[in-house]
Chain A
Amino acid sequence: MTAPSLAAAPPALTGRRNLEGNEACALGAIRAGCRFFAGYPITPSSEVAETMARELPKVGGTFIQMEDEIASMGAVIGASMGGVTAMTATSGPGFSLKQENLGYACGAEIPCVIVNVMRGGPSTGMPTRPAQGDILQARWGTHGDHAVIVLAPASVGEAYSETIRAVELSETLRVPVVVLLDEVIGHLTETVDLGAVPETPGIARPFATGPREGFLPYAETADLVPPMPRPGDGYRSHCTGLTHGPDGFPTQNPAVAAAALTRTTDKLVLHRARIESWREQATEDADLLIVAIGISARAARQAVKDLRAEGLKVGLFRPVTLWPFPETPLREAVAAAGTRKVLVPEMNQGQLVLEVERVLAGRAEVAGLSRIDGETLTPDEIAGAAREALK
């Protein structure tokens, strides 16, 4: 079994194609070496599974539709434990069902990618309408302290490239990565250059290769990412969701338990530079900065253009890596421009704005702009709120 790599991309995944965000997500995963998908149908994410069902057999991968989302998440973790790169996709209610096993993957450090195409909620909500209500669920959905990475594409091209990056981060850092789309990005059709893959340091998972005798599956290495034993390679190690020490076995020793949890969260701090990603538009001199993700950021981009045409100094800061939140870059953008006001438009009752408030801690006046009726925020709405704030 060879480690997945970008070099081994299937020949079909080249050239420019018109794709939906959901399809792009699936193809990005395959391009990055994903060879296992387990899922359960749910609008507006089902096209990810449908694309995987069609494409995976062609590249020697495995697709399975499980009996529910809990089972899908379990199967994905099981495949990944076997050494195969694995992904699942879902939407709100299904994302909730995946949370317990997602926490297992956090605790046991099993690489996996979870696509959540956000729809209106809570509960069954508005299945076919867009929302951004899972911004905090994506970060804190599972129980207990844990480290997780969340990427938030804002175009079909990014659905492709960010899913590739999701696989790369997940595999190399042994951490679950959530790709957080909203219904609009998931169902939007745009042209994608499938050959234009992001510059990545390499997708290969660190597999254990050293001596079998005395092997510690969760040893504290310099990069805080312990090489993963692959079944069949002779390590015969144990993997558990119970808090475990370097030997992989359960422990209740306070020092060992604290060190184990601390390492998995420190891991993301250590590799933060590689994980963080954001885009800035006209931020250099912005009096007012808009912070937005996904389709709301697309609307904000237009609003910034319109407001600049009016002579208003407005910019956009768009986290592409949503969690861990790019807090230093945001603080720096605000400090460099002497930004006075920050506007956070989002399709929920105010989730991202809480993080922005925390990060800026009084450095600028932060206000939210919510829309929760199943319609997207428009450039005019955002521009209107910005004008109001600058008065």
Chain B
Amino acid sequence: MKDTKTESAASFDVNDYLRQDRMPHFLCPGCGHGIALRALLWAVHEQGIPKDRLAVVSGIGCSGRLSAYIDANTFHTTHGRPLTFATGLKLARPDLHVIVITGDGDCLAIGGNHLIHACRRNLDITCVMLNNEIYGMTGGQVSPMTAEGRFTTTTPEGNTEPNFDACALAAAAGASFVGREVTAQVLALKTLLGQAIAHEGFSFVEVLSDCTEIYGRKNDLGASPEMMLAKKSAMRPYAYRNTVDVPFRPNALRTGVLTRTDRPEYGAAWRAMAARIRNEEH
């Protein structure tokens, strides 16, 4: 049997997809965003997407800065709005593979309205939300994904607001592909991102990322390995939902592919309608 795992690992060199002249990158040591970036580029590689056809659209935040490191057509847009830019880009240029990189604040606070409408529309965009539970870029303020009780610079006595279940939100809004993964599981993350890219329609992937420097320190979560392992052990892979030998964790978040439905892709539906109008005219 062919060992596809090893083969893929051998043929993938992340440096082929990074702008070498932009190195060193600006992420803090141990930041989960770097792991997510590697997994994403690996998925792009496995999907065989030519770099010239790849468009990466990002918002504003530490997460948003990642686009500048990718050797592709990259667009660093405005805070919360990358999905809107991506919508125009993908509709105007259906030949491009459009991937959005966004943060939990970018995507769910200032950009929350755009997310639910992108989910509803089902345009073929892959939205990768790097959820580090914090506004990293601006120095550690509370985000819509900060857990209750956590300390941030704007919740000095602990957060009193509940956070979203982003995947449930995306699924409820109609996203035809929804998944979640932790940075500790790079292979699983890479596979999930590949499935999301291959999916025709809007796909939403929540990556549980790690802001080691700010969130980790402020909440005594340890260094990045501790942060990553703690998250990993709090997860419950969706694929194991019916197996009895995995200990049941009542509050665990599910990882893996959570929603996958087949419904008309928006761009194709629009073009079919427009073609019909043109034929009727002639």
Contacts and interface: CB of A to CB of B under 8 A. Distances in A.
Interface of A is mostly: mixed
B113 interface: yes
Contact of A78 (B51, B57, B68, B270): B57
A154 to B, nearest CB: 31
Contact of A57 (B53, B72, B84, B274): B274
B76 A241 contact: yes
B117 interface: yes
B74 A74 contact: no
B277 A57 contact: yes
Q: Could you say which of A56, A66, A81, A237 has the most chain B C-beta atoms within 10 Å of its C-beta?
A: A81
Contact of B75 (A100, A239, A249): A239
Interface residues of A, number: 47
Contacts of B12: none
A285 B277 CA distance: 56
Interface string B2-19: 000000000000000001
Given A67-B117, A75-B87, A78-B85, A239 B93 contact: no
A74 B277 contact: no
Interface in B43-65: 51-53, 55, 57
Interface string A238-259: 1111100000011000000000
Contacts of B83: 74
Contact of A232 (B81, B88, B95): B95
B92 A79 contact: yes
A75 B113 contact: no
Contacts of A233: 52
20 contacts: A57-B274, A60-B274, A62-B274, A66-B87, A67-B117, A70-B81, A71-B81, A74-B87, A78-B75, A78-B89, A78-B92, A79-B89, A80-B92, A81-B88, A82-B92, A231-B52, A231-B89, A232-B73, A239-B76, A249-B68
Interface of B: 19, 22, 51-53, 55, 57, 67-68, 71-78, 81, 83-93, 95-96, 113-114, 117, 270, 273-274, 277-278, 281
Interface of A: 35-36, 38, 56-58, 60-62, 64, 66-68, 70-84, 86, 100-101, 104, 229, 231-242, 249-250
Name the 6 nearest CB pairs between A and B, nearest first: A74-B84, A78-B88, A75-B88, A57-B274, A78-B85, A79-B92
